[in-house]
């Protein structure tokens, strides 16, 4: 499966999980854990594999995507700190959903079409395999293992720093 198709499938899964949280028909703690693990793994594969590979296609949009990940991660941490039924829970679900929706729209309408024009099918398929394997690894380890603790650091910050260091050493 090509990288962009994999990411789009994950976007649809996250949308479904938000719907379950909003409708309140499923166990909120279970859905929230699945959402947190899915988002952490999705952000990891974009930050570690996809964005570095496509940065030359649109560096401005990739930089903005890292920032959106940082904001979404902070909002997800805030959501995880609240209890279903608390007055803040629904507001935090809505805020996170809106952040994610904006991010998904930009990726699917702006970045992915550019990437699919710039990279050949074989490269996208190879990247998709690598991303799927890493997604499963991060998802199984869970949100807590994938993101820094506290509110002052995010995985997006750590990935950008690591990617910059790789770029400097390659030059």
Dump pLDDT digits (tens) for 24-40: 878 999 999 999 999 99
CB proximity list for 35: less than 8 A, separation 6 or greater: 14, 17, 18, 21, 76
Asked whether residue 41 is domain-assigned, the answer is yes
**Residue found under tokens 């996170």:** 96
Q: Which domain holds residue 118?
A: 3-160
Residue 98: pLDDT over 70: yes
Q: Residue 151: pLDDT band by 50, 70, 90 thresholds?
A: low
What is the CB-side half-sphere exposure of residue 144 using CA atoms within 13 A?
Answer: 3
Asked whether residue 167 is domain-assigned, the answer is no
Helix orientation angle between 3-23 and 121-141, rounded to the nearest 10 degrees: 40
Task: Write out the two tokens for 91.
Answer: 């507001």
Average pLDDT, integer, range 73-93? 91
Average pLDDT, integer, range 105-116? 97
Asked whether residue 171 is domain-assigned, the answer is no
Q: What CA–CA distance (Å, rounded) separates 32 from 82?
A: 11
> In the chain, how many domains are there?
1
Residue 156: pLDDT over 70: no
How is the chain split among helix, strand and coil, in percent rounded to 5?
85, 0, 15
Question: pTM higher than 0.85 for the full model?
Answer: yes
* 160 vs 129, residue with greater confidence: 129
Average pLDDT, integer, range 107-121? 97
Q: What CA–CA distance (Å, rounded) separates 52 from 140?
A: 23
Asked whether residue 170 is domain-assigned, the answer is no
Average pLDDT, integer, range 105-115? 97
Asked whether residue 38 is domain-assigned, the answer is yes
Instruction: Region of 154 please: left (phi>0), alpha (psi -120 to 50) or beta.
Output: beta
Asked whether residue 60 is domain-assigned, the answer is yes
Task: Write out the two tokens for 115.
Answer: 């990437």
Q: What pLDDT, on the 0 to 100 scale, is given for residue 153?
A: 64
Asked whether residue 19 is domain-assigned, the answer is yes
CB proximity list for 157: less than 8 A, separation 6 or greater: 70
Q: What pLDDT, on the 0 to 100 scale, is given for residue 85?
A: 84
Task: Write out the two tokens for 153.
Answer: 């650091």
Asked whether residue 169 is domain-assigned, the answer is no
* 103 vs 152, residue with greater confidence: 103
């Amino acid at each position: 499966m090509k990288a962009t198709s994999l990411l789009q499938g994950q976007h649809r899964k996250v949308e479904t999980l938000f719907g379950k949280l909003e409708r309140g028909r499923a166990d909120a703690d279970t859905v929230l854990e699945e959402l947190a693990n899915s988002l952490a793994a999705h952000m990891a594969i974009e930050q570690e594999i996809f964005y570095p590979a496509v940065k030359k296609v649109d560096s401005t949009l990739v930089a903005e995507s890292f920032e959106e990940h940082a904001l979404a991660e902070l909002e997800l941490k805030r959501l995880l700190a609240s209890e279903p039924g608390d007055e803040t829970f629904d507001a935090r679900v809505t805020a996170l959903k809106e952040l994610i929706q904006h991010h998904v729209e930009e990726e699917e309408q702006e970045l992915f079409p550019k990437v699919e024009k710039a990279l050949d099918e074989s490269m996208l398929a190879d990247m998709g395999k690598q991303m799927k394997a890493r997604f499963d690894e991060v998802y199984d380890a869970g949100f807590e293992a994938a993101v820094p603790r506290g509110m002052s650091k995010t995985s997006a910050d750590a990935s950008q720093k690591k990617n910059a260091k790789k770029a400097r050493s390659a030059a």
